[in-house]
Chain A
């Protein structure tokens, strides 16, 4: 056993001991996964009704809804879940310190190192309790895209009631474009996220069962100490 393990038993931790992915996180994660699936599938159906780019139209089997109004129905249903679940997640992440712990700090030097490792297929994932720089940026990015997609969605849903917001975003069609670009970013994230999760399947198990217990008092900087994952 390492010295770190003996010197810092969980029971004298200053914060509450919790799992890597506490139950609220896991519930919100899977709700979000289903909701994003609904929003993108129905969103593509709505897009097809007046494509922003003439050369891009989503095939029927990729969309949710047999006709245009179905896409709208699903979208105007899912948006409430997305917003409520997303807001709850943001509040939870800020108040429990999870964002601070898991997603910061961002180091450019470490990021470049990670990218180099990834390209050489050397990016390790031995310690699931710490995110590497690439992960931190991706998660921060998708959170940002999620906020932006809801804000731009509000603008195009209510361009007159929220006319000030539309003006801030540069006009109605520009707000549509922003909404579309945010979707593209989220879709890109989903592709990377799902691919990596399938490549390291134990991360999926972790998001279902919660993963190892971690001591929140332990610093998230520096190399990860050994952790007894048999708990």
Chain B
């Protein structure tokens, strides 16, 4: 294997260096260290222990073990997932309008996407990587579904989404459907990814509308991912890029310790 690698064109290459995931949990502490210019460029658990006076190493080891179990759970869930089992659908009268807003920040901090300059960029194992404008996305055949959104917290609601079936879109752009993952990047820095089986599920779509109207800003305008078989946070909003890949990359919430597969 050559030590020299050409610079990667993908947006999704992980940063080099030690696995930062246990440190993500101690974000506040990490920021304190950075502000104090402490061990610049080389964050260590030992440094955190010294700073806080408490033994974070044990917690990190516990986290490592629990995350290994979570990875094992990913495999178990993949076995349980039935690729052609449809989620129950509901009546239009049951649709919640407006839907419930959620994000990892407050609604006031939602930054609207400029639709004039927005493109859906394509990366990875895709034949035609030309970016898509919103106009082009709206011109594709539209699928509508009324399904249950279930949050990891435990609340749920019935919602109606319309958009482009993801499998159909992947076929249109010549994606390799034998690849393992479809990854997404979002305007607010959020990242998510799906196993290919879920990406190809009949009820997985790139949604453009809610309850028959174009997605309002807080709900992902102009385009969001919408599945019927994943926990709420997997349904990324304000999607700006899509990559078909065989490389697994941690996502925003998996780095924090949430289960990556998170299928329902």
Contact = CB atoms under 8 A, between A and B. Distances in A.
Chains A and B in contact, CB within 8 Å = yes
A161 B67 contact: no
Nearest to B257: A69
A156 B62 CA distance: 26
Interface string B75-100: 00000111001011000000000000
Nearest to A161: B80
A157 B231 CA distance: 10
Interface in B234-264: 253, 256-259, 263-264
Contacts of A66: 59
A17 to B, nearest CB: 40
Given A73-B66, A73-B257, A160 B80 contact: no
Interface in B148-175: 148, 150-156
A49 interface: yes
A183 to B, nearest CB: 14
Given A67-B25, A76-B69, A173 B156 contact: yes
B81 A69 contact: no
A92 interface: no
Contacts of B264: 157-161
Contact of A77 (B66, B82, B258): B66
Nearest to B73: A76
Nearest to B80: A161
A73 B70 contact: yes
B81 A161 contact: yes
A215 B18 CA distance: 61
A49 B154 CA distance: 7
Contacts of A158: 80, 263-264
A163 B87 contact: yes
A76 B259 contact: yes
What band does the interface of chain A fall in when counting residues whose beta carbon is under 8 Å from B? 20 to 34
A160 B153 contact: no
Contact of B153 (A50, A70, A77): A50
Given A160-B264, A161-B80, A161-B85, A73 B67 contact: yes
Contacts of B185: none
Contacts of B146: none
A69 B258 CA distance: 5
Interface size class of B (residues with CB under 8 A): 20 to 34
A178 B109 CA distance: 37
Q: Which of A67, A76, A167 has the most CB of B within 10 A?
A: A76
B229 interface: yes
Contacts of A68: 152-153
A86 B222 CA distance: 49
A157 B156 CA distance: 13
A123 B69 CA distance: 45
Contact of B154 (A46, A70, A163, A167): A46
Residue with the highest number of chain B CB atoms closer than 10 Å, among A66, A70, A74: A70
A62 to B, nearest CB: 18
Contact of A70 (B81, B85, B152, B257): B257
A76 B261 CA distance: 13
B205 interface: no
Nearest to A78: B69
Interface in A29-53: 46-47, 49-50, 52
Interface string A49-87: 110100000000000001111101110110000000000
A160 B263 CA distance: 9
A172 B150 contact: yes
A136 interface: no
B228 interface: yes
Contact of B66 (A52, A74, A157): A74
A68 B258 CA distance: 9
Contacts of A176: 154
A76 B256 CA distance: 16
Contact of A160 (B25, B59, B85): B85
Interface string B46-84: 000000000000010000001101100100000011100
Given A159-B148, A159-B264, A161-B82, 6 more contacts: A50-B151, A50-B153, A161-B81, A172-B150, A172-B156, A176-B154
6 contacts: A69-B257, A72-B258, A72-B259, A76-B69, A172-B150, A172-B156
